Structure 1
Amino acid sequence: MKKGIIVFLFIGVLQNYANAEDVCGKAVNDGEVFSCFKSAKQTAEKTLNEEYLATKNRIAAEYSASPAALQSYTLTLTESQRGWLKYRDGQCNLESFMAEKGTVTYDALKDKCIARVDLERVEQLKSIPYE
């Protein structure tokens, strides 16, 4: 596939996924788009890691009187997070499949997906421990 067709398809994908909250949709050229998605991914990854640690701390505080329950809950959270990471990576591979691996288009699609899915997970983690 020619580069021009890939860029055209990529721009079409961006337009289909753009929404009012998508800051990267305001980028005016490919370089800005790629940079924006990379930055969004890095920010989302940092936020995810911070919320995961905060979740572990909330669980520790809630179950401090019951070491066995704390250990079990923490292990369950860890296993859940590992499974979720596998899901995220598979989903983002799926969403970026249309672009050739190793291209900036592939990387941008994957970065955009990772940022979105990470932020969805952050919202899930905020509700843990469940009551």
Structure 2
Amino acid sequence: MKKIFLILLMFFFFSSFVNAQKTVDATGETEIYLAYEKADKELNKVYNQFKKKLGSKDQTNLINSQKDWLKFRDSNCKFKSYPEGEGGVTANKMYADCRMQLTISRTNELKSLLNGF
């Protein structure tokens, strides 16, 4: 009897875990965050390649430009998303998607500048 109870209890917890995973993935948040992470890695790669080609004064200007751009990207996406505390999953997805799109755009901009050197 104890074994049956234990098996049923384990089954309950396992099925709850699987259903919770499906709910998270069903929202599409995971996919957007993974796409953003990929875009961010590409941006960092291109940024570092570009930085290596510059002299020290231009490197400083690029670093300052990138810091300003990151602040702009995040505040602009926050503005375009629902106000904090509203919108739930939709707001999170809008914010992540905005960051991803602007990051891809910035990567393309830096690639274009890099190709000019």
1:2-49 C-alpha deviation (Å, 9 max, x unpaired): xxxxxxxxxxxxxxxxxxxxxxxxxxxx72522211111111111111
TM (normalized to structure 2)?
0.68
Change (3 A) 1:31 1:78: same
Task: Give, as a single letter, the amino acid of the residue that structure 1 aligns with 2:32.
Answer: F
- Report if aligned partners of 1:51, 1:126 keep a CA contact under 8 Å in 2: yes
Equivalence for 2:28: 33
What is the TM-score of this pair, normalised by structure 1?
Answer: 0.62
Between the aligned partners of 1:50 and 1:102, the Cα distance in structure 2 is 33
* Structure 2: gaps spanning 5 or more residues: 1-24
SS in 1 for 2:79: helix
**8 A contact 1:40–1:111 mirrored in 2:** no
Percent identity among equivalent residues? Answer: 28
Of Structure 1 and Structure 2, which has the larger fraction of its residues in helix? 2
Cα RMSD, aligned residues only: 2.4
Which one-letter code corresponds to 1:56 in the other structure?
A: K
* One-letter amino acid of the counterpart of residue 31, structure 1: A
Return the match for 2:93 from 108, 113, 117. Answer: 108
Who is 1:44 aligned against?
A: 39
- Structure 1 runs of 4+ aligned residues shifted over 3 Å read 98-102
Structure 1, unmatched stretches of 5+, are 1-29, 60-69
Cα drift, residue 101 of structure 1:
5.1
Q: Distance in 2 between matches of 1:32 and 1:104?
A: 7
Size of the aligned set, in residue pairs, is 93
Contact kept in structure 2, 1:34 and 1:104, CA below 8 Å: yes
